[in-house]
């Protein structure tokens, strides 16, 4: 499994609207894509950050999402389209006992 980690600087007064729109647009859009396993949204009230963690089955399936799909979903965010402040990628390691 691979984790896509995205950080957004979101003003506190826009948190709820941003999170709701993200659920309606991105989560709904990602559900239909091969390899999408799930998603979590974290809010840091001290730093005014929203962190979105997306779980993918493999890196290959994640990276196979077309730029046109990304652009289309971004556009649907409308006035709540906020640039990614930071992104990271993690591999989940499992060890046999």
Angle CA 72–17–87, to nearest 5: 60
Architecture (CATH level 2) of domain 2-91 = 2-Layer Sandwich (3.30)
What residue segments make up the domains of the chain, in order of their start? 2-91
Angle CA 59–73–56, to nearest 5: 20
pLDDT in tens, 61-79: 999 999 999 999 999 999 9
Model confidence, pTM: 0.91
Cα separation, 44 vs 76, in Å, equals: 25
| 96 CB-near residues (< 8 Å, 6+ apart) | none
Q: In what order do the strands lie in the sheet with 36-44?
A: 36-44, 49-56, 2-9, 86-91
pLDDT in tens, 15-69: 999 999 999 999 999 999 999 999 999 999 899 999 999 999 999 999 999 999 9
């Amino acid at each position: 499994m691979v984790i896509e980690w995205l950080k957004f600087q979101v003003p506190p007064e826009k948190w709820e609207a941003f999170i709701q729109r993200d659920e309606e647009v991105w989560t709904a859009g990602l559900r239909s894509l091969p390899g999408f396993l799930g998603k979590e949204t974290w809010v840091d009230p001290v730093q005014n950050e929203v962190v979105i963690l997306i779980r993918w089955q493999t890196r290959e399936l994640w990276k196979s999402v077309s730029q046109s799909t990304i652009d289309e979903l971004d556009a649907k965010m409308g006035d709540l389209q906020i640039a990614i402040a930071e992104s990271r990628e993690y591999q989940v390691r499992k060890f046999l006992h």
